[in-house]
Amino acid sequence: MGVVNVTPDSFSDGGRWFDTTTAVKHGLDLVARGADLIDVGGESTRPGATRVDEAEELRRVIPVVRGLVSEGVTISVDTMRASVAERSLAAGAALVNDVSGGLSDPAMIPVVADAGAPFVVMHWRGLLEGGNVKGVYADVVTEVVDELRARVDAVLEGGVAADRVIVDPGLGFSKEAEHDLALLARLDRLRALGHPLLVAASRKRFLGHVLAGPDGAPPPARERDAATAAVSVLAARGGAWAVRVHEVRATADAVRVVRAVEGARTPDDTPPAPGAHGAEGTR
Ligand code: PMM
């Protein structure tokens, strides 16, 4: 899933694809580089971002959805507003990606249910205004899994079919780097929810944290694409359905390599037991 943020202020690419023509062209470029679908968003979710009004969000998103759909691109719309989801679906979008998992707008779940569209339900503890006060966990993996399960139940109760629900741990949303890493270490627990899993790590703060130099300074967001591709490999190995990324080429190549190596396994290829070669000699 390639990202097209039609915003002046997104965290890693704000302002770059802000007019319709540039945004459509960027979406097509991402498809050429290997994206299977494009996630179009008109509102930044970065901490402290001010919400855009509905009319402005529609103005940003709908022409880009239309433009890409007319080119045959599969579109996901990244929005917390039911009206934007509804208009995007009418314009040909295939999927709704709501970072609030239907919590932000009570009309969202009925709109998605009526349309029969796939719905990304992300783990979310509210808007990130005033710092990361909600990002406190005793056991982040268990809490995120439990809270996601509760959201999935609510979405199903609202009429969305079970086979339309996609889950997402919401990396970086009310989470510190240690929380994001713990979640990536246990993708199996998220997979056990029984729904396709979306992993959206691209260029996020926790990668900056991992890559920080001796002075503690993280590299800028646009220099985190190799790190993002590493997460894409982990996600592919962990059985994720999709990864949401800003720079598609590195991820598409990385995932193809994972697939090729996995395809080269023969049925009797059992991996060696841990430590199996330790006794024979350390080189
Ligand atoms: N993160 C961002 C935006 N949309 N959607 C899903 N499903 N999951 C995410 O983690 C997510 C998202 C913020 O990233 P950006 O502003 O850098 O694109």
Q: Which domains does the chain have, with CATH numbers?
A: 2-263 (3.20.20.20)
Instruction: Map residue 237 onto helix, strand or coil.
Output: helix
Determine whether the shortest distance from the Cβ of 120 to ligand 1 is under 6 A: yes
- 5 closest CA partner among 262, 274, 277, 221: 221
Atom of ligand 1 nearest to the CA of 120: 7
Global pTM value:
0.91
The lowest-confidence range among 43-57, 66-80, 246-260, 266-280 is: 266-280
Q: What is the pLDDT of residues 146-164, one digit of tens each?
A: 999 999 999 999 999 999 9
Atom of ligand 1 nearest to the CA of 44: 16
Q: Which of 13, 17, 18, 97 to mutate to test the pocket of ligand 1 (most atoms within 8 A of CB)?
A: 97
pLDDT of res. 80: 96
Q: What value does the mean pLDDT of the chain take?
A: 91
Q: What is the rounded CA–CA span in Å between residue 21 and residue 124? A: 32
- 97 closest CA partner among 143, 164, 31, 146: 164
What pLDDT band is residue 142 in, cutting at 50, 70 and 90?
very high
